[in-house]
Structure 1
Amino acid sequence: MSGFDEFDQQGSVPNRDTGSIISHAFEMYKGVFLYAIVAMIIYIIGGIVIQSVSGFNSASMVEEMRDAGSGFSYWNAPGFSLYLTLSGLLGILLAPLYVGLIFIVNKYNTKNPIEFSDLFIGYRQNFVNILIYSLLSGVISSVALSICFLPFFFVYPLLLLGYPILLFENASATEALGKSFNIAKENYGIFLGTTLVGILISVAGVVLCGIGLIITAPFIMVVMYSAYCAFLGKPRQIMFK
């Protein structure tokens, strides 16, 4: 049975500005990046399995794009639709893993001992709501991406606090979505700047032939934690009894 135990904690809280939140996230990430890499490796292994099951080959698709030119359609690529469906499902099922990384960041910040099993706390704590939230936020993000891509960057800041709220407040998916939206809406400039910088750093690994993404991609999850601390304070530590 899980619960929340509130006690005096060490740890830092950033100011409510983009620079302070990103700096705080950097400090946190330096202490937990090995766990972040493990999470990314799990995601990559899942992606390889999905590509194998669906029969989709990205390299072949690139060649077909070159041959077909402007007449190429992604949906006609062999296995693409199945790959896209399974990738979306994988993203939802691995959402608790990202929540686990946020939990580890909090333990690092509050000077509590970290265990490898902490990475999987999302599968034990508020699991169903994490999956529902992942689905809802995924739909919202996908719709935003489909509208000329740019709207995604204006919508995502409204979702930034969702996962930390689900974890530390044991909220429902709709409560987390609503609370994240309301806080970000009232401080939209800060959330927009924080999100843009966080995403840029997360995708920076592309310059290292893509391999660097394993290291940089999870950074946005740490940004979520730092933003939560800035606007809602240090979380209560989750304790299992």
Structure 2
Amino acid sequence: MDFQEFSQQNQPQKSTSEIISHAFETYKGVFLYAILAMVLYFVASMLIQPISGFDSRAFSEEITSADGDFTSIDIWSIPGMKLYYGLSGLLGLLLAPLYVGVIYVANKYNFKQPVNFSDLFIGYKQNFLNIVIYSLISSIIFTVTFMMCLLPGLLVMPFLMLGYPILLFENASFADALSKSFNIAKENYGTFLGVSLLSLLISISGILLCGIGIIATMPFFLVAMYSIYCAFLGRPRQIEFKN
């Protein structure tokens, strides 16, 4: 496939609707792998509960019995909560390369290349440290902005849309990924905001399906990151990865 073919067939235009449409078409081809990545994430999350001693069922019952009055609940006094919170944060960082793996699978599908289960783990073999550091920094940014209010978090989100694809396709440092993503989003903020908000709504829509549907919809946001990368940065570098 040459660059002209890619531009005509695989690269969306720089508009919110075209990018979301491209992400939908791509996601339909990779959603089984995306779901598998989410299942791995949730299984790992469940395994750390008995290690920490935190009982999520008891915590849910306490929240329910509070009847909307949460002022009397000290979550940090709940047995195992502090350790569970710490282990969850560490787990999130260590599983961040799976996000990159979903993007890599999307790229292979876009180029009509065969996809393998091991493709999900490319982030553990390429640029692992920068991916983890980037995930830590972006998590801190989101935590701070969303704690301030929902709106600041939503407004900051577009600036981080290109980070993971840049880390993957350009093998960039976490600092370069942050800088490049910020600069491109700043110059095209309207489109980036539209894509990030729509992608977020689609990704959390699975909550409506008794909650379990979130496994099927959450990875859409990652595929949207890939689509917006294609739109603004063109054909990704093809990566030679030995399975």
Q: Name the TM tier (shorter chain).
A: over 0.9
- Asked if the contact 1:164–1:225 (Cα under 8 Å) also holds between the matched residues in 2, the reply is yes
| 2:31 corresponds to | 33
Q: Does 1:92 align with 2:93?
A: yes
Name the aligned partner's letter for residue 33 of structure 1: F
| 2:58 corresponds to | 60
1:104-140 deviation line (CA, Å, top 9, x unaligned): 1001001112121111111111111111111111111
Name the aligned partner's letter for residue 73 of structure 1: D
Unaligned stretches of 5+ residues in structure 1: 1-5
| 1:3 corresponds to | none
- Asked if the contact 2:103–2:222 (Cα under 8 Å) also holds between the matched residues in 1, the reply is yes
Q: 1:232 to 1:136 in 2, by over 3 A?
A: same
- Asked if the contact 2:122–2:241 (Cα under 8 Å) also holds between the matched residues in 1, the reply is no
| 2:20 corresponds to | 22
**Alignment partner of 1:174: what SS?**
helix
* Percent of aligned pairs with the same amino acid: 59
- Asked if the contact 2:199–2:221 (Cα under 8 Å) also holds between the matched residues in 1, the reply is yes
Across the aligned residues of Structure 1 and Structure 2, the Cα RMSD in angstroms comes to: 1.7
Query: C-alpha separation between the residues in 1 aligned to 2:226 and 2:64?
Result: 42
Q: 1:78 to 1:149 in 2, by over 3 A?
A: farther
| 2:181 corresponds to | 180
In the TM superposition, residue 71 of structure 1 has moved relative to its aligned partner by: 1.8
In the TM superposition, residue 83 of structure 1 has moved relative to its aligned partner by: 1.5
1:151-204 deviation line (CA, Å, top 9, x unaligned): 211111111100000000010000001100111111111111111110111111
Name the aligned partner's letter for residue 60 of structure 1: A
Query: C-alpha separation between the residues in 2 aligned to 1:73 and 1:185?
Result: 40
| 2:223 corresponds to | 222
| 2:43 corresponds to | 45
| 2:123 corresponds to | 122
Q: What is the total number of aligned residue pairs between the two structures?
A: 236
Q: 1:66 to 1:100 in 2, by over 3 A?
A: closer
Unaligned stretches of 5+ residues in structure 2: none
Runs of 4+ in 1 over 6 A off after TM superposition: none
Q: Please, what TM-score do these two structures have when normalized by structure 1?
A: 0.93
- Asked if the contact 2:49–2:55 (Cα under 8 Å) also holds between the matched residues in 1, the reply is yes
In the TM superposition, residue 85 of structure 1 has moved relative to its aligned partner by: 1.3
Query: C-alpha separation between the residues in 2 aligned to 1:144 and 1:204?
Result: 22
